[in-house]
Structure 1
Amino acid sequence: MTQIKNIKFKKSLLCFLILSGALLKAEEKYQLNDVVVSASGFEQDLVDAPASISIITKEELEKKPIKDIGEAIGDIPGVDVTMNKTGTYDFSIRGFGSSYTLVLIDGKRQSVANGFYDNGFSGSESGYLPPLSMIERIEVIRGPASTLYGSDAVGGVINIITKKNPDKIEANIEFNTLLQQHSNHYGNAGGFNAYVATPLIEDILSISARLKYYDKAASDLKWPTPVWNSSQQRPDNYQIASHSPGAFTSLGFGSRLNWTVDDKNNIYFDIERYINEISVNSTSSRAIKSERQLFKDNIVLNHDGNYDFGSTNSYLQYGSTKDKELHSQIWVGEGKVVLPWNLGQYGNLVNTFGARIDYEMLKNDQASAGSQIRGKNLDQTTVALYGENEYFITDDLIFTTGLRYIYSDLFDSEFTPRVYLVYHLNDNIALKGGVSKGYKTPAAKELTNGYYNYANGNAYFGNPDLKPEESINYELGVDFRIFDFAHYSITGFITDFTNQISSEDLTGMQNGISCSNGTVCTRPINLGETQTKGIEFAFNTKTYNGFSLNSSYTFMDNRYKDGQKNWFGGDRIENLPRHIAMLKLNYERGKFSSYIKTRARLDTIAKAKGGGNGSLPWQKYKPFYIVDLGINYQINKQSSLSFAVQNLFDKNFFDPQVTKWDGANPAGYANRYQDYTEGRSFWLSYKYDF
């Protein structure tokens, strides 16, 4: 056979041999030839990708209010988004929280050292989102991706793809503001984004710079007058709603220098800094307002090669995140090669081989830190070797296998394999399915033989016997392309999670601390096994007579499997909804576009913010429904105006109810809804392209 048999392989090969800076743009959002890079490490058609993956386009990002990663990905199947106590949006993917999801920018890790965030501040990492004007698209892998990406990717991967080196000057600036109808309860906000890129030497050297600022005032939610269990009134500061969002301010800036050495080699150097100020109202049992100022730096030196034999990517990265007394540092070095092979009548093969080394360090100088860790470097070195083979057996059958070897200086070595199969029944229907393993090591501080933090009536102890968390993920789906009109997909998944890390209460005297009289002592433990079963539906259409539709629905059943019970005696896991749904109708006509969108989160076992777990007189949070409306107008070639009404019908999601100690005595209040979603607000954005 003289010609390459596999047309799909030829398309993937063409994508991957083009300079890695090239962008393949679709005419419409849900075109059949959407291209992704995250699923296998090289560019290929979305329908052929060996993973459940979603794309969020730059056009979609620019037409709605987005301040953080949670808001950006909230409309895709399998994702649950809730507002956390820092005022940013936390997220989970198929039941795994943000701490189990690896966030990348152009394939480079953005996460801090494991264990840096404590006391619920982890959601603030969602705020490290680049200016929207420099984002080309966001790719989201739903499910474990540890074979290619390591232990941080147990729940999934979010890869933010940015614009590449320009061949002409481009610049834009965007101003936005958020005004609350109930500004006496929720904070107003405002900010701006700027991006500029220009060639310095034509076709050789270019530079870009970006700037982002966002500021949001604190909420002012108050309980009805609370009481002690002796019916005595508490001080005024106890009236502030527990863990309600405080003020949030973010300033980010950075620059990238790009050098195209020749037609085969490209190098870039990227540097950025974020300064985030975050606060939480009425945290801890003593109703204290907690504030932190974080400085996050990231430096990357990257090389891409495109040669006759294949392509290569290698990079060095340094990341630093610190506040006054905590300092997290990461050093990463990685190199990989992608090799395509034409096997003639036996099909075609793409091999990916790579090696990676991670060193992460956490230093804690807090006065509340235990003597075992205060002022010391808690570090971990991880070395990984990985390989993946994507075998295009025929035009319609693609078989992927992968294996990652992980060595950690704190734990035993581990292998994380995966297998995946894509089969095209015809041009419009594809079956996809596979099995993959996830693996995540505990934070070094959690291995402390003693307490690692003691403040505000809470003592946190380590556990040297902790084991790494592991998961096995099974998924099977079908992808329908309804001619050139619509895309419909169904994906079922099962995740078996073992050695899940949770916490247990301690009593008596522990390392000189009396765990009684109001002092709460906890330590991490491995729970055993949990299981998540679910099914995801997505239906999206192209534009027809100006109208298009996006919709998704996810059913999840998350349960403890080792005899553990929730606070109400059942085996369902708390804080994870059973039903998540989204429906969005879009309309476009000339310079005008609009959307109306509704989201729902239903049947969620409660685990309250404030009031004490287990003291709730209700078992489930109230159902969550919300409707948003958005309008965009392209004023001229350079400028556009966007307007949105969030929570269009002004649904009140603040419903305080009395909690009970021991099922009898009044203790305080907790919200009947899962988070403090804001009332009706108005968002306005103006963007100008120079």
Structure 2
Amino acid sequence: MSNKTIAFALVVASSAPVIAADNDNIMVVTASGYEQKIREAAASISVISQNELRQRNYNDLAQALSDVEGVDVNSSTGKTGGLDISIRGMPSAYTLILVDGIRQNGTSDVTPNGFGAMNTSFMPPLSAIERIEVIRGPMSTLYGSDAIGGVVNIITKKITKAWASSATLEHTFQENTAFGDSSKFSFYSSGPAVEDQLGLSLRGTIFRRDASRVESSNTGVELSRRGPNPVKADNYNLGGKLFWQLNTQSTLWLDGDIANQKYDNSANQLGTIGARGGYEDTLRYQRRKITLGNDNRLDFGTWNSSLSYNQTENIGRLITNASVPQGSGLAGEKRLLKNTNIILDSKLVAPLGDNHMVTLGGQYWNAIMKDGIVLANNGDEFAQDAWSLFSEDEWRLLDSLALTYGARYEYQTTFGGHISPRAYLVWDAQDNWTVKGGVSTGYKTPTLAQLHNGISGVTGQGTITTIGNPKLEPESSVNTEVGVYYENETGFGANVTLFHNRFRNKINSVSIDNTTSTYTNVGKAIT
């Protein structure tokens, strides 16, 4: 059955004049941790500009990435209708999502059974975004675990010196109402609270989608109301940032964000209601996040630090009959699914002589996962501590040739230490031509639930129990690539990139028998 949509948008804005960016000098920060021209970035990277975002009606991050080369968001759809983000063929769990360089990903343990797209439905309103940077390929040297497929970094606007505000009301009318209309209201406002000392920004998005009720054109039978034909949804995301200019060289900032997603399951569209399937009639996904940061411009470089607290919770799941002993009385009780991450990041960027730009940094990460099924079977909450140190140097060998090389040492309480190196060359061959290439590595440890020595979940609408495997090894990858880039004075650009990705110890789910599954490493894969 085909369908057409008509989108309507009303925009109200008040702001200071804006000067268009020079497309020939696009700046990026994700590839190196500091600002540089995109043609000099040591990575295969694309940028979605603010103008490009304005021209399209995006409801979530995956939609915004739909036209980026090397990114596939159409190969799979989550149960709630969100699109999964795949970079160079790697599943969405291998893509690290950042906002202004701050990790957003929670563990996939909190969104089991096809609900991973919930994690990509959080995005600041388009009016708050300056640009989105997308790196294809591993970046574990700078960003650690999860950055094995690629990195998406949403760069938000800086707080303005004069108050600027915008509000947008959108409604999408489906030509066939069976596909479900949707509405979205978003706002962004920023300006000084105390001139030259204290700045404030506020942002928010409210999204509502009617349920799909699509029938097969051949049989007239209603199709499944999930995935491409999603259920009714009510979502919101509200946040704000306070920016304090301590002195001419140091700033302190505090960013807070609350978000809620609500999905209708009254007709068992997302999962079977009750103790057999493990679902309630309404599913909710909540996130509470707060980050404290400090930025310093020193005589010899820049030093940035942040401390973030991120808690996500999946509400509306039940403990199933198959996951607890018969007669325990726990089947049908609410299943707790809550993940808490506390992350401390610190990074120093400084020139060393005339030809080196050095980045030094470290990270501490405390992760806690609580699963009601594990607790019901006398298990404990999952907890893991990790710390890492990294160093990277951009060495200007010639005016037109730069070598970026570095490594990250990561230590986890479960697996001990691991080193993730990378090396990358960028050659400005001519004014319009750039050649890039190098080797980068990725590293991803198993989730806390995958390592649990006991029942850690259910699949098959509550009929199959999943057993963790404490003998799992971390996944790793080695990516080799070379690319040729062309751009002329009119803004026309084209590129060709060849890459080879060797993937080791991929974690897959395997069946033990008709009612039990577990996880195992499957060796090597090449893309």
> What TM-score, normalized to structure 2?
0.86
In 1: Cα distance, 2:445 partner to 2:144 partner: 10
Residue 284 (structure 1) shift: 5.8
Matches within 5 A, 1:299-310: 299-310=290-301
Corresponding letter in the other structure for 2:488: I
Return the match for 1:93 from 69, 87, 112: 87
In 2: Cα distance, 1:245 partner to 1:525 partner: 32
Residue 201 (structure 1) shift: 1.6
Corresponding residue for residue 47 of structure 1: 39
Contact 1:124/1:278, CA 8 A, preserved across alignment: no
Contact 2:260/2:285, CA 8 A, preserved across alignment: yes
Return the match for 2:358 from 348, 351, 359: 351
Unpaired segments of 5 or more residues in structure 1?
1-23, 227-235, 508-514, 533-690
Secondary structure, counterpart of 1:446 in structure 2: coil
Corresponding letter in the other structure for 1:214: F
Corresponding residue for residue 261 of structure 1: 246
Corresponding residue for residue 124 of structure 2: 130
Corresponding letter in the other structure for 2:115: F
Corresponding residue for residue 318 of structure 2: none
Corresponding letter in the other structure for 2:434: A
Matches within 5 A, 1:81-120: 81-82=73-74, 83-120=77-114
Contact 2:80/2:270, CA 8 A, preserved across alignment: no
Return the match for 1:250 from 235, 241, 250: 235
In 2: Cα distance, 1:242 partner to 1:369 partner: 30
Residue 260 (structure 1) shift: 1.1
Residue 39 (structure 1) shift: 0.3
Secondary structure, counterpart of 2:118 in structure 1: helix
Secondary structure, counterpart of 2:421 in structure 1: strand
Contact 2:225/2:231, CA 8 A, preserved across alignment: no
Alignment of 1:410 with 2:414, yes or no, is yes
Contact 2:78/2:116, CA 8 A, preserved across alignment: no
Alignment of 1:393 with 2:397, yes or no, is yes
Cα distance, 1:217–1:338 mapped onto 2, change above 3 Å:
same
More off after superposition, 432-441 vs 239-248: 239-248
Alignment of 1:313 with 2:298, yes or no, is no
Corresponding residue for residue 340 of structure 1: 351
Residue 279 (structure 1) shift: 4.9
Corresponding residue for residue 292 of structure 1: 283
CA deviations over 1:28-75 (Å, ceiling 9, x no partner): 5xx221000000000000000000111001111112110111001111
In 2: Cα distance, 1:116 partner to 1:240 partner: 24
In 2: Cα distance, 1:247 partner to 1:483 partner: 48
Residue 266 (structure 1) shift: 1.2
Residue 289 (structure 1) shift: 8.3
Residue 392 (structure 1) shift: 1.1
Cα distance, 1:444–1:290 mapped onto 2, change above 3 Å:
farther
Corresponding residue for residue 172 of structure 1: 166
Cα distance, 1:487–1:225 mapped onto 2, change above 3 Å:
closer
Contact 1:423/1:432, CA 8 A, preserved across alignment: yes
Contact 2:111/2:314, CA 8 A, preserved across alignment: no
Corresponding letter in the other structure for 1:253: L
Contact 1:389/1:400, CA 8 A, preserved across alignment: yes
Secondary structure, counterpart of 1:120 in structure 2: coil
Corresponding residue for residue 362 of structure 1: 369
Alignment of 1:65 with 2:72, yes or no, is no
Contact 2:29/2:35, CA 8 A, preserved across alignment: yes
More off after superposition, 433-442 vs 274-283: 274-283
Secondary structure, counterpart of 2:230 in structure 1: strand
Corresponding residue for residue 337 of structure 2: 326
Corresponding letter in the other structure for 1:427: D
Contact 1:283/1:289, CA 8 A, preserved across alignment: no
Alignment of 1:467 with 2:473, yes or no, is yes
Alignment of 1:140 with 2:137, yes or no, is no
Contact 1:223/1:240, CA 8 A, preserved across alignment: no
Secondary structure, counterpart of 2:53 in structure 1: helix
Secondary structure, counterpart of 1:413 in structure 2: strand
Matches within 5 A, 1:179-258: 179-184=173-178, 186-222=179-215, 240=224, 244-258=229-243
Corresponding residue for residue 436 of structure 1: 440
Aligned length, in residue pairs: 478
Contact 1:475/1:494, CA 8 A, preserved across alignment: yes
Secondary structure, counterpart of 1:447 in structure 2: coil
Residue 460 (structure 1) shift: 1.4
Secondary structure, counterpart of 1:323 in structure 2: strand
Return the match for 1:496 from 497, 502, 518: 502
Corresponding letter in the other structure for 2:231: G
In 1: Cα distance, 2:281 partner to 2:38 partner: 44
Cα distance, 1:85–1:290 mapped onto 2, change above 3 Å:
farther
Contact 2:309/2:342, CA 8 A, preserved across alignment: yes
In 1: Cα distance, 2:261 partner to 2:36 partner: 36
More off after superposition, 243-252 vs 33-42: 243-252
CA deviations over 1:353-378 (Å, ceiling 9, x no partner): 00100111111125x876154xx320
In 2: Cα distance, 1:446 partner to 1:482 partner: 50
Corresponding letter in the other structure for 2:517: T
Residue 306 (structure 1) shift: 0.9
Secondary structure, counterpart of 1:430 in structure 2: strand
Q: Based on CA coordinates, which of the two structures has the bigger radius of gyration?
A: 1
Secondary structure, counterpart of 1:322 in structure 2: strand
Residue 341 (structure 1) shift: 2.4
Corresponding letter in the other structure for 2:30: S
Secondary structure, counterpart of 2:62 in structure 1: helix
Secondary structure, counterpart of 1:41 in structure 2: coil
Q: Please tell me the root mean square deviation across aligned C-alpha atoms, in Å.
A: 2.2
Cα distance, 1:242–1:369 mapped onto 2, change above 3 Å:
farther
Contact 1:440/1:469, CA 8 A, preserved across alignment: yes
Cα distance, 1:461–1:222 mapped onto 2, change above 3 Å:
farther
In 2: Cα distance, 1:501 partner to 1:372 partner: 26
Corresponding residue for residue 277 of structure 1: 262
Contact 1:340/1:349, CA 8 A, preserved across alignment: yes
Secondary structure, counterpart of 1:246 in structure 2: coil
Cα distance, 1:456–1:267 mapped onto 2, change above 3 Å:
same
Corresponding residue for residue 525 of structure 1: 520
CA deviations over 1:315-341 (Å, ceiling 9, x no partner): 110001113421110000011100112
Question: Percent identity among equivalent residues?
Answer: 35
Contact 2:81/2:226, CA 8 A, preserved across alignment: no
Cα distance, 1:328–1:44 mapped onto 2, change above 3 Å:
same
Secondary structure, counterpart of 1:530 in structure 2: strand
Corresponding letter in the other structure for 2:71: V
In 2: Cα distance, 1:97 partner to 1:290 partner: 29
Corresponding letter in the other structure for 1:58: Q
In 2: Cα distance, 1:246 partner to 1:481 partner: 44
Residue 294 (structure 1) shift: 1.6
CA deviations over 1:56-102 (Å, ceiling 9, x no partner): 01111112110111001111110111233211221200011221111
Corresponding letter in the other structure for 2:147: A
Alignment of 1:427 with 2:438, yes or no, is no
Secondary structure, counterpart of 2:232 in structure 1: strand
Residue 270 (structure 1) shift: 0.7
In 2: Cα distance, 1:25 partner to 1:46 partner: 20
In 1: Cα distance, 2:280 partner to 2:342 partner: 34
Corresponding letter in the other structure for 1:315: S
Residue 310 (structure 1) shift: 0.5
Secondary structure, counterpart of 1:207 in structure 2: strand
Contact 2:435/2:485, CA 8 A, preserved across alignment: yes
Secondary structure, counterpart of 2:84 in structure 1: strand
Cα distance, 1:25–1:331 mapped onto 2, change above 3 Å:
farther
Cα distance, 1:491–1:337 mapped onto 2, change above 3 Å:
same
Corresponding letter in the other structure for 2:165: A
Corresponding letter in the other structure for 1:466: L
